[in-house]
Structure 1
């Protein structure tokens, strides 16, 4: 495996372990009105146990490590290929396009990972990621694990385009405004700052899409089964798509509903991505693949 694969995998797993408690709060804020069975009291009680704070961690630790590895490998190869095709040096434009390609490439991993994570974080009583995976596969098959895939792919493509773009932009700005020094402390501070800013910019750019994705994936087959009028039998309603979910959310809470949880998410994004980029850059440096090393396309 390449250096950027392992650097991406390890940094992704570390990021999940650090940010899961705040991600748990974000997801529940986003889906609060979409799960009528959860009252305000039950919503609060779910945070009383320590196990609730790590709910849904198993799937993303495994899945997001692989996702991050795939993301960085796809991004590095795509940027190198674009620069070779255009016969030019890296630019912010090619960085954004390469990031979008990398984000789109993660769809095969991110959709089931996000689905399982959301269901685990919203389940009451808490359920393990493995039990949720088995239940989905048993009732819906492999297609069930990719429910909400279209909006997830759109979110990841746009978001990761801005992710790498903002990291490169802020890195260039820091480099142009600091003294000529390569001291490790300054380099570490730069990576932490630029990584944190990249995380905030990314989530701010796609947060409404993430709200829609969460509400789409929060729908289960059980939640769409309602009693027939005047009958004890049940009728299964069709789960809503992304457009229908967006319209329903807007009718219920206006434009504000699409930004609920953004503050919590921004705090989490800065912390997680600062650490994630620092771990990635450090591993790449240790493996002899620092930022000055050119990545060749496959």
Structure 2
């Protein structure tokens, strides 16, 4: 396989290992009341909730560690191929120079990569978020995936996929655009290897913060869509009710309904809850990811 595939795979896995403890906190802040409403307040729940935070380094991390590497590989391969198609003559150099038109192509290539990665990111995010908000000590990524598959099949794994794809397209557009823009702004022909390495870390971290700031409200809604409880369906009477199964009907709220409900009950601030901890995580994770990616690309291309 290509160098960018393996570089993307390894950098994605490294980012998840480093960032999962902070991601757990971010997801629980985003879920808000959804977390409390998904479980009953029993003595068992109270006893097991602290344990989930003690295991913050591993809770909900199995699925992302195994799949985020593949997601990142797909993302970088699609991005690089799309950018080549849009601008065949452009080449990545140590001190790149991009015009405004080049940066717009970078954004479009990043958005295309984000849409392609949705195939992996939608089920990964659903499993990860449900595992992270669960207060049951026996819940794992595997148990969540198994339950969803048994009850709803493939369609269940892609629940919330629409808003996830929009989030990924917009987010990764800004991701690559901000990385290449900041790298160009801070690069100099006189930079030493050490200077270039430090600037990769800074540019990668900045790209992560800009990306999450641009899509955070979408991510809040996505998290609540994927972790919401089932709501009672319409009550039917007469002969129609006699023909139905005795189990009560349930339905889920759409992303628009979730957003409206969150705004009505918690105000506009709910769409930025957890942004602080997310920004810290984004800087650290993406600094490491870009450093690993650039290092692996250099190593594999030799």
Tell me, in whole angstroms, the C-alpha distance in 2 between the residues paired with 1:47 and 1:285: 43
Give the alignment's TM-score, normalised by structure 1.
0.87
Deviations 1:76-129 (A, max 9, x none): 00011011399x987111000000000000011000000000011011213111
Structure 2's unaligned 5+ residue stretches are 91-97, 236-245
1:234: Cα distance to partner? Answer: 5.2
Tell me, in whole angstroms, the C-alpha distance in 2 between the residues paired with 1:44 and 1:197: 39
SS at match of 2:301: coil
1:43: Cα distance to partner? Answer: 7.8
Please name the residue that 2:117 is paired with: 106
Q: Determine if contact 2:9/2:69 at 8 Å carries over to the other structure.
A: yes
SS at match of 2:135: coil
Tell me, in whole angstroms, the C-alpha distance in 2 between the residues paired with 1:119 and 1:19: 17
Please name the residue that 2:200 is paired with: 191
Please name the residue that 1:92 is paired with: 103
Deviations 1:6-54 (A, max 9, x none): 0000000000000000000000000012232456x95896344532441
2:289 to 276, 290, 294: 276
Tell me, in whole angstroms, the C-alpha distance in 2 between the residues paired with 1:236 and 1:56: 29
Deviations 1:176-202 (A, max 9, x none): xx5x42422101100000000000000
Deviations 1:117-168 (A, max 9, x none): 0011011213111111111000001100000000000000000000000001
Q: Determine if contact 1:225/1:234 at 8 Å carries over to the other structure.
A: no
In the TM superposition, 1:244-263 aligns within 5 A as 244-263=257-276
Please name the residue that 1:31 is paired with: 31
2:300 to 269, 287, 291: 287
In the TM superposition, 1:59-74 aligns within 5 A as 59-74=63-78
Please name the residue that 1:292 is paired with: none
In the TM superposition, 1:1-298 aligns within 5 A as 1-35=1-35, 36-37=37-38, 46-49=49-52, 50-84=54-88, 91-126=102-137, 127-175=139-187, 178=188, 180-220=189-229, 223-224=230-231, 235-288=248-301
RMSD: 2.5
SS at match of 1:54: coil
Give the alignment's TM-score, normalised by structure 2.
0.86
Tell me, in whole angstroms, the C-alpha distance in 2 between the residues paired with 1:51 and 1:34: 21
Tell me, in whole angstroms, the C-alpha distance in 1 between the residues paired with 2:107 and 2:46: 39
Corresponding residue pairs, total: 280
Distance change >3 Å, CA 237–CA 211, structure 1 → 2: same
Tell me, in whole angstroms, the C-alpha distance in 1 between the residues paired with 2:38 and 2:269: 22
Runs of 4+ in 1 over 4 A off after TM superposition: 41-45
